[in-house]
Amino acid sequence: MENVFINPGKGEWKGLLRRPAFDSVSLESIVAPILQDVKEHGDEAIKRLAEKFDGVILNDLKVTASEMDEADLLVSDDLKTAIELAKNNIAVFHQAQQENGKHIETTDGVVCWRKSIAIQKVGLYIPGGTAPLFSTLLMLGIPAVLAGCSDIVVCTPADKSGKVNPVILYVARLIGIKNIYKTGGAQAIAAMAYGTETIPQVYKIFGPGNQYVTCAKQLVNKEDTAIDMPAGPSEVAVYADETANPIFVAADLLSQAEHGADSQVVLVATSGNIIEKVKAEIYSQLSALPRKEIAAKALKNTRFIIMEEVNAAFDLLNEYAAEHLILASDNAVLLSEKVINAGSVFLGHYSPESVGDYASGTNHTLPTNGYAKAYSGVSLDSFVKKVTFQQLNKQGIKNIGNAVELMAEAEGLDAHKNAVSVRLKHVGDKEN
């Protein structure tokens, strides 16, 4: 953790902020045959690959009602209460994103509107490895249900005994999702993209995963299956000034580092004094973490950057475009006006990134790897299509018809022009 940089110039930023890289060619050479195997052999390939990669023999791929009942008994009442709180907050925030199609009369007799229509078939990938992410099912399942998606498929890996994490199953039942399948990794993405004898094909796939899952999503996206967004390892950037609490900042950095060895944490501070205090706290807190070995590996990707000038600091942070951005400052709300590129922003000393992961209400499925420059996180909009409508009466076609004729003729599209001309003639004839 000796990566301290003082007031780096813009020419240094690209190299300084580079994410941990993967060999995409090697990844594709591994993932592409898995996709093809599932495409050709369906359920048989899913079961064979589960035994090969996860060491589990699966007799049935779909989770049964009795397994759902059993899972309900294995989740503590305290955890159920916590999940209920998170569910309510997530639902409130996403429900507010619903739009009513407002009719706009652009010209007399010309009415246009837009309607949100749910994507019928969606697939949700829920990681279940070292950290089964039942919170991700809340984040994806709730807006999918609110949007009105008619067919929601969940894929998540089973453990060595062939069981899915009970909290994942509890959450699925709580939010009303019944179709859960025991498969993970690239083969799960293939199953949802192509369909198997048991697992239905979907139109759009959501959810985070390791590098193999991410690669699989990108490959099936080339074959007409939509995905939520490009995604990579989790990351956080923290801006800390003299008002920041080093204990809080260190805890925030470690909370992200424990996700995986390929996670990245960046601290942009206004002085070296802040960085030294935070580093001391990191060493102190790290030893107490059950996932300290994973976090320690991730900390090798840490960047400690001193930026004494505030505007330059935010220029750098906007260039980085972090998945999560924490503003550890008394002036966080004012400073947030300088944020252009970020997945989700956490303001002040009492807004840790963890609350967004679980229970504040915002969605934790966010763009990584700099994609926050152009992509948004998952929202209710992610589960719908926006279809536009227009309706013209006789007065409407008269009002804009001649303009359309002239424009179509100028582009050499005479059939376009004629589609208007015959209507204008008909309207004229009726009036005569």
Distance of CA 230 to the CA centre of its chain: 8
Q: What is the CB-side half-sphere exposure of residue 8 using CA atoms within 13 A?
A: 21
Residue recorded with tokens 């926050």:
372
Structure tokens at 96: 């507010």
Active site residues: 323-324
The conformation of residue 378, written as its DSSP 8-state character, comes to P
Report the alpha-carbon distance of residue 181 to residue 200 in Å, rounded.
10
* Sheet-wide strand order for 384-392: 104-107, 110-118, 384-392
Question: What is the 3 state secondary structure string of 215-254?
Answer: HHHHHHHCCCCEECCCCCCCEEEEEECCCCCHHHHHHHHH
Task: Confirm if 126 and 133 have CB atoms less than 8 A apart.
Answer: yes
Q: What is the CB-side half-sphere exposure of residue 75 using CA atoms within 13 A?
A: 24
Structure tokens at 289: 């973490």
Compute the chain's Rg from CA coordinates.
Answer: 26
